[in-house]
Amino acid sequence: MMRSFFGDVNLISAGMVSIIFCLQMCLVLSAEGVHQHMKRFTGLYTGPYFDPTTNNNITTQLGTHAYLPCKIKQLGNKSVSWIRRRDSHILTVDRYTFIADERFQAFLVEATDTWTLQIKYVQARDGGQYECQVSTEPKMSHFITLNVVVPKIEILGETDIYVKSGSTVQLKCVITQSLEEPAYIFWYHDGRRVLDYDRRLKDIRSERVGSDTTVGTLIIFEARRDDSGNYTCSPSNLDSASVLLHVLNGEHPAAMQRGKNSASPIPGRWWGPLSAGLGLSSCYSRRSAAIAVVVISLISHLSLHFT
């Protein structure tokens, strides 16, 4: 019986020790929570505020992804909205998107207290101001300007290129004012992609020649008549540029142009009667003018015959 009594006492003592330990841990955790809370809201600000070191001017290239940061300290339970200034369209609220354009998305980087607006495949019209707004009373706003750089693309030379059959042709596509090198440069011949599987016939090269310039080159060896046509340089996520290639088999370019643009000439001997008839048409009816043209033409023809 004594053993039972002392056993019960030991159990009660162990239980009391466990309870006391739990209470102590709760007090410690509560104290740490209060300490962290007090530490978080100490200083000049007692609520949310924007980090003044945040970049408010972002530059990106057409076709790439843009990231607009909004670093907010001591946000607490407030919501963050992104608004496009040019049309006051609410793009996102926290992680929810309120625009049909799926290129827009907001996400939080908790380690840096940064709400970031992502715009995929940036278009030229995406440039402008964006507002990062916190749901305090009154509202707090931070403005960020997005600058979209549109690279320039051109194929060197004239828009119409004439070469002799059997010669080597080099088409150079120059991309300037580009912040990033294109992931690829595709060439198309009359709408069909040009491939360089057989390098004896064609070769495609790409080279970064400066901080903002890339040159893509299409080389055609021993050009043939069927190599003629439209050639288009199409870099990734950018506009394209085109030229017309004419491969000649002994023809002269000027002769081709004359043959294409020439019209049937009017014999010189008809200009006098025709102009006279046109003059009469302003004074008389169409029928009278037509008769006059015929008569004048006959007289002119007879006079030339007898002279």
Q: What is the pLDDT at residue 237?
A: 84
Q: What percentage of residues in the chain have a pLDDT greater than 90?
A: 60
Residues 206 and 215: beta-carbon distance below 8 Å = yes
Q: Tokens 């090198």 appear where?
A: 181
Q: What is the pLDDT at residue 196?
A: 77
Domains in the chain, start-ordered, CATH in brackets?
49-149 (2.60.40.10), 152-248 (2.60.40.10)
Residues 156 and 176: beta-carbon distance below 8 Å = no
Mean of pLDDT values over 255-266: 39
Q: Which residue has the higher pLDDT, 46 or 166?
A: 166
Q: Tokens 């021993």 appear where?
A: 222
Q: What is the pLDDT at residue 17?
A: 46
Q: What is the pLDDT at residue 277?
A: 46
Q: Tokens 């040019």 appear where?
A: 86
Q: What is the pLDDT at residue 200?
A: 74
pLDDT in tens, 50-71: 999 999 999 999 999 999 999 9
Confidence of residue 194 (pLDDT cuts 50, 70, 90): very high
Confidence of residue 223 (pLDDT cuts 50, 70, 90): very high
pLDDT in tens, 171-186: 999 999 999 899 999 9
Q: Which residue has the higher pLDDT, 193 or 22?
A: 193
Beta bridge partners of 149: 61
pLDDT in tens, 76-93: 999 999 999 999 999 999
Instruction: Give Cα 161 distance to the centre of its chain.
Output: 29
Q: What is the pLDDT at residue 265?
A: 36
- Structure tokens of 62? 């057409």
Query: Would you say residue 298 has pLDDT above 90?
Result: no
The kind and range of the H/E element at 28 are helix 2-40
CA distance 155 to 93: 45
pLDDT in tens, 21-47: 444 544 444 444 433 443 344 456 678
Mean of pLDDT values over 230-242: 93
CA distance 31 to 274: 110
Residues 128 and 84: beta-carbon distance below 8 Å = yes
Mean of pLDDT values over 98-107: 96
Query: Would you say residue 124 has pLDDT above 90?
Result: yes
Query: Would you say residue 16 has pLDDT above 90?
Result: no
